[in-house]
Amino acid sequence: MDPSPEVPLPYRIVALMQERNRLFAYPLEDLAEEVRATGFRCNRCGTCCTQAVNNHIFLLDRDIAELEKIDPAACEPAPDPEFCDQYGRLYVSGYSLRMKNDGQGSCWFLENGRCRIYDRRFSVCHIYPHMLRRNADASGLVTWRQFAHPGEHGRYDPTLPEEECLETARMIKEYENAFLTQQISFLETIHEYFTLGNLRHDPGKYQLALQQYRQGRPVGISVFHAGELKKNTGLSGLSEKIENR
């Protein structure tokens, strides 16, 4: 989706910081109770590992460090670049797991319906389908969304131990904090980089570049990782740190 140019970046950064503060204030015990009441238990069915359910699987910076040890070719720029400068270069806030072109859009690590790195799976894979994020409904009412796609994955287990629910709740809050922190850092970096480089977001160039990108055609794209913008050298794989213009 084309970003809203009428909202200045500093305002968006402050809004995300406020969102992170609300996340900190959310009682861990309340979230653990939601986990217990939902009763979700992963049975390795692989349902959530395809684009039939998830458009992409976003990776945190810490996930990339682990992925480099497993298979560096298994990642690609996340599919939703948010900015495009006047020269047609796209900018995105991180990487996602590479998906196969197998009809279902399976995760790179899914084989015969099973994850081949299950014991080393990434942050969002550990907490999915749980989440703790605020969403607005059609009327504009903002509420906490605590569970994604209930009843579509795994199996129901009404006997989840209290300590396990608390540990899951801790992981959920930790992931959401890391995700928001990465988004804040991305916007701060974009704000500084565009200002110093005399760059601006170009909606027209954005639509053209995004169309090329989604068609699998070569397009300049910079990915935010480990506090830096890195120039992607292809349609997948890790990127190299960009040089100043």
Q: Has residue 232 been placed in a domain?
A: yes
Asked, for residue 215, whether it belongs to a domain, the answer is yes
pLDDT at 218: 87
**Beta-bridge partner residues of 106:** 50
pLDDT at residue 134, as a whole number: 84
Residue 1 resides in a domain? no
Which pLDDT score, from 0 to 100, does residue 77 have? 92
Q: Which residues of the chain have pLDDT under 70?
A: 1-6, 149-150, 233-245
Question: What type of residue sits at position 31?
Answer: L
DSSP type of residue 244: P
Write down the pLDDT at residue 59. 93
Which tokens go with 62? Answer: 């810490």
Angle at 229 between CA 223 and CA 234, to 5 degrees: 40
Q: Is the residue at 2 inside a domain?
A: no
Question: Are the CB atoms for 36 and 168 separated by under 8 Å?
Answer: no
Residue 71 Cα distances to 65, 78, 97, angstroms = 11, 17, 11
Task: Give a yes or no: residue 192 inside a domain.
Answer: yes
The number of domains in the chain is 1
* pLDDT of amino acid 245: 34
How far is 62 from 65, CA to CA, in rounded Å?
Answer: 5
- Identify any residues that bridge with 221 across adjacent strands, giving them in sequence order: 90
Amino acid at 81: P
Q: Which residues contact 202 (CB under 8 A, 6 or more apart)?
A: 84, 85, 86, 88
Torsion of CA 21, 27, 30, 32, to 10 degrees: 90
Instruction: Using alpha carbons, select from 34, 40, 58 the residue that is nearest to residue 176.
Output: 58
Q: What is the pLDDT of residue 150?
A: 66
Q: What is the per-residue pLDDT for 5?
A: 52
Q: Tell me which residue has tokens 């503060």.
A: 21
For residue 127, what are the domain limits? 9-241
Looking at residue 233, its pLDDT comes to: 52
Does 4 fall in a domain?
A: no
> Which residue in 115, 113, 116 sits closest to 102, CA to CA?
113
- Give domain status of residue 3, yes or no: no
- pLDDT for 222 equals 96
In 3D, which of 92, 94, 97 has the Cα closest to residue 50? 97
